[in-house]
């Protein structure tokens, strides 16, 4: 029997569907000749766009000989990256330690421990993610494991340069005119922008960020001093600030009017995509649907 004829879970990361919205765009869609397409990253095995960089950071480090199965990996992360890293670590035989503030939803913690990761909870009132990140660095310096650091690791955007970008290019047959992504580590927008602009420098890259005072899980408007090391401002043409309430309303509409139950950052990217659509004609606008909405059910955002 040739076992290679069957795919492993690893081979199912990426190659996500691109879905055309039918009702939500309304007047800014078909009447203006615009098509709005969602890249369904929630279809990845661990449920988010983060499966791509998690796999990339581990495989590339293996290729360089920096890590080998059996080693211990450490990451300070409170969200999708933790879940994705826990899955990839399980898949490839690593021990995964995830460090996060103790005010995180039980739902998220349970997803990570289900994949066998060890969680270290840090006191949220002592500095949140910054405290968690400092502890990860300290543990690495004490020889307790290797930190991948998604904010500074070039293998994060590389995943999107190698996969997300080429997929969007081929799925639109090179017709994509605008690419919209919410920005967290900025890995998605950096890598995808690099590829799409290489293929066609006229493709417009739009970054969605939370407006002042708005909390949207997974994304941040970084103060200058905290900008991720992988971020390069020249790769983004336009920024859109998104109010939390607008993103949450759009998440409900996306589920109820299109049947796409997605997270709030994905809905924020759609708010930005619709703003762009209102200004252009005959355009093919792709936005990233970062994860699925069921990851947010306990927050109550779909109950209103």
Ligand X SMILES: Cc1ncc(COP(=O)(O)O)c(C=O)c1O
Residue 188 C-beta: closest distance to ligand X, Å:
3
Residue 6 C-beta: closest distance to ligand X, Å:
30
80/177 with CB nearer ligand X: 80
**Both structure tokens of 142:** 């004490």
CB 183 within 8 A of CB 205: no
119/183 with CB nearer ligand X: 183
167/291 with CB nearer ligand X: 291
265 among known catalytic residues = yes
Sign of the CA dihedral running 173, 183, 51, 258 = negative
Residue 303 C-beta: closest distance to ligand X, Å:
19
**Both structure tokens of 194:** 């690099």
Residue 207 C-beta: closest distance to ligand X, Å:
9
25/293 with CB nearer ligand X: 293
d(CA 116, CA 170): 36
Buried-state track 37-58, b at ≥16 Cβ within 10 A, e below 16: bbbbbbbbbbbbbbbbbbbbbb
Q: Considering the candidates 50, 56, 197, 214, report the single residue annotated as catalytic.
A: 50
**Helix, strand, or coil here: 209?**
strand
What does the CA dihedral 39, 77, 56, 180 come to, rounded to 10 degrees?
30
d(CA 115, CA 211): 34
**Helix, strand, or coil here: 266?**
helix
56/265 with CB nearer ligand X: 265
- The site for ligand X (CB under 6 A) is made up of 48-50, 79-81, 182-188, 217-219, 263, 265, 290-291
Q: Considering the candidates 48, 56, 181, 265, report the single residue annotated as catalytic.
A: 265
Residue 155 C-beta: closest distance to ligand X, Å:
12
d(CA 72, CA 95): 5
d(CA 206, CA 261): 22
Q: What's the N-to-C CA distance of the chain in angstroms? A: 53
81/204 with CB nearer ligand X: 81
**Helix, strand, or coil here: 144?**
coil
Residue 181 C-beta: closest distance to ligand X, Å:
7
d(CA 216, CA 239): 16
283 among known catalytic residues = no
Residue 113's CB is within 10 A of a number of other CB atoms, namely: 13
Active site residues: 50, 265
């Amino acid at each position: 029997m040739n076992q290679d004829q069957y795919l492993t879970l690893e081979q199912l990361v990426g190659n996500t569907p691109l879905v055309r919205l039918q009702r939500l765009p309304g007047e800014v869609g078909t009447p203006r000749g615009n098509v709005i397409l969602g890249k369904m990253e929630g279809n990845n095995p661990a449920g988010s766009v983060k499966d791509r960089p998690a796999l990339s950071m581990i495989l590339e480090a293996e290729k360089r000989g920096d890590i080998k199965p059996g080693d211990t990996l450490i990451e300070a992360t409170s969200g999708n990256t933790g879940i994705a890293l826990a899955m990839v670590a399980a898949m490839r035989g690593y021990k995964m330690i995830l460090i996060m503030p103790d005010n995180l939803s039980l739902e998220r913690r349970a997803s990570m421990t289900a994949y066998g990761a060890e969680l270290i909870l840090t006191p949220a009132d002592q500095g949140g993610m910054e405290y968690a990140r400092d502890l990860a660095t300290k543990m690495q310096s004490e020889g307790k494991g290797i930190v991948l650091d998604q904010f500074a690791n070039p293998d994060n955007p590389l995943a999107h340069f190698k996969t997300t970008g080429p997929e969007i290019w081929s799925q639109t047959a090179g017709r994509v005119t605008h690419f919209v992504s919410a920005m967290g580590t900025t890995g998605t927008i950096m890598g995808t922008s690099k590829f799409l602009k290489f293929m066609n420098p006229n493709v417009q890259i739009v970054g969605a960020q939370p407006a002042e005072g708005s909390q949207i899980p997974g994304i941040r408007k970084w103060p200058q001093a905290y900008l991720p090391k992988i971020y390069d401002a020249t790769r983004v043409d336009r920024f859109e600030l998104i109010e939390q309430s607008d993103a949450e309303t759009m998440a409900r509409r996306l589920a109820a009017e299109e049947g796409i139950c997605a997270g709030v950052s994905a809905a924020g990217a759609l708010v930005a995509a619709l703003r762009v659509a209102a200004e252009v004609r005959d355009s093919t606008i792709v936005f990233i649907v970062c994860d699925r909405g069921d990851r947010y059910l306990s927050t109550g955002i779909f109950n209103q």
